[in-house]
Amino acid sequence: MTDHADVQSHRAVTRRIADALFRCAAALGAGALLFLSFPPRTTWFFAPLGIAVLTLMLRGRSVRAGFGYGYLAGLAFFVPLLPWVGAYVGAVPWLALAAIEAVAVGLFGAIAALVSRLPLSTVWVACAWVATEAVRARAPFGGFPWGRLAFGQVDGILLPLAEIAGAPGLSFALAVMGTGLAACVIQARTRRWRSSMGNAVLISIPVLLALSLSPTTVPNRDMTTVAVIQGNVPRLGLDFNAQRRAVLDNHLARTEQLAADVAAGRARRPQLVIWPENASDIDPLLNKDAADRIDAAAQTMGVPVLVGAVLIGEGNTTLNSAIVWDPVSGPGQQHVKRQLVPFGEYLPLRTVMTAVSPYANQAGKFVAGNGNGVVELNGVPLAVATCYEVAFDDLVSESVRAGAQLITVPTNNATFGRTDMTYQQLAMSRVRAVEHGRSVLVAATSGVSAIIEPDGTVQQQSRIFTADALVGAIPLRTDLTLATRLGSVPELVLALLVVPAILIAVRRRLRHTATKPGSN
């Protein structure tokens, strides 16, 4: 009798271990599917599939197990998504960031496991995804929205939804498709065909809505011609800043070449010219030679140039600035980058971090700017979202509501080498175009630069690590999309919707525990 009981106990343990290993593998697979939905790949449909697989693994699990499986999925998502972080500083920063960001997916897993047995759980689980994305977009150290589900959808059929509810609404639609698909699988297995059909209808709603949308914004001013300059850098890596004069010279040379092409009739004359972030790491407000060269380039073009420049601040600090450089009056309005990169442009907890790691002192001493991110270039108000800033919803929305008629994204991605980073950032810029109904100009030091139309279409695109000048006609728009008007409201509503579901689920679990035999 004892032997039989031992055998049964051993089999039960083996089954539990096998089930846990299977769920771990499935969670890792779900995270891999999420990663594969991001550019430069165009397999956007892997995103709802990844959510579906993860949701299936979480159903009926404990909160602790849900966090564990979610965290594994997060690692499988962020580790391959973010290797560019360590391109020239080693694997430690990359893996540390991935491990931190995976906590948000772990939190999603805990919530999803908790609410998975509630009625309408497909909606509550999707809301949980939006809520955890919102948290990691704000914390720690100002947040890191990179890897938001919506940013992988530039080639997907749901992209038009960004015009209604922004990036959070697009993420929600994808999550609903994933959770609805998981529910269909479960209900089909238990032959609950009516419920399965209901979830099939739920899955189809975002698709039908996206397909029914047509652009609601229309040009209300003439088209304007713009130029995006990509000067390229002398070599890859962090040390390219040591050759800052060569970087400035490259952008001057490409601008002067464009001016020659315009004079010869080989190119249209632009009304405004955009340089990338860090095009001049020599402070042109202090260095007369740099100022004279930029003056000459602007005068040759005959139109204002938006110059990305690093300026010297007070107390050995620096400013990441975009300066309007007029061909007549010289430097004018500035946008100083408001959302700085922690551990890159500045070092949080500097005393502690320098004691922990010798690499910490490599972080910059940039100071964040303020304002609404709008400058005027040749009479055109434009939003400036410098590099990292394009990932943050509220910054771009504020600029467009303040009157920006187009969006510029000056960026310096030479530091990250030949990685997926530049394509991921380009995808964010395309989402912003649809979200706000604005053309977007991406100006990169080393690529990829692009001219993006308001529907997210890439009109022109440069090659990486190639000097280039993109010249194209774009519409200027002043009307606002619904997403711009609503701002963060959809994200807030969706995130708050999961709170009562969590409270109800906790109450049910406590009641179930109290009624179990032996609980007293």
Active site residues: 277, 337, 387
Pairwise CA distance, residues 349 & 363, whole Å? 12
Which pairing describes strands 406-411 and 380-384: parallel, antiparallel, or unpaired?
A: parallel
How many helices (H) and strands (E) the chain has is answered by 14, 12
> Do 18 and 10 contact (CB within 8 A), yes or no?
no
Sign of CA dihedral 251, 257, 263, 265: negative
Pairwise CA distance, residues 341 & 364, whole Å? 9
Pairwise CA distance, residues 278 & 281, whole Å? 5
Phi-psi group of 391: left, alpha or beta (phi > 0 → left; psi -120 to 50 → alpha; rest → beta)? alpha
Q: Which two tokens stand for residue 312?
A: 């010297």
Alpha helices in 365-488 (DSSP H): 393-401, 421-436, 482-486
461-467 CB contacts, 8 Å cutoff, 24+ apart: 461/426, 462/228, 462/230, 464/418, 464/422, 465/232, 465/233, 465/236, 465/414, 465/418, 466/230, 466/232, 467/230, 467/231, 467/232, 467/250, 467/253, 467/254
**DSSP string over 248-310:** HHHHHHHHHHHHHHHHTTSSPPPSEEEPPTTSB-S-TTT-HHHHHHHHHHHHHHTS-EEEEEE
Output the CA–CA distances (angstroms, integers) from residue 135 to 93, 108, 145, 194, 492, in the order listed. 21, 11, 9, 36, 11
Q: In degrees rounded to 5, what are phi and psi of residue 264?
A: -85, 0
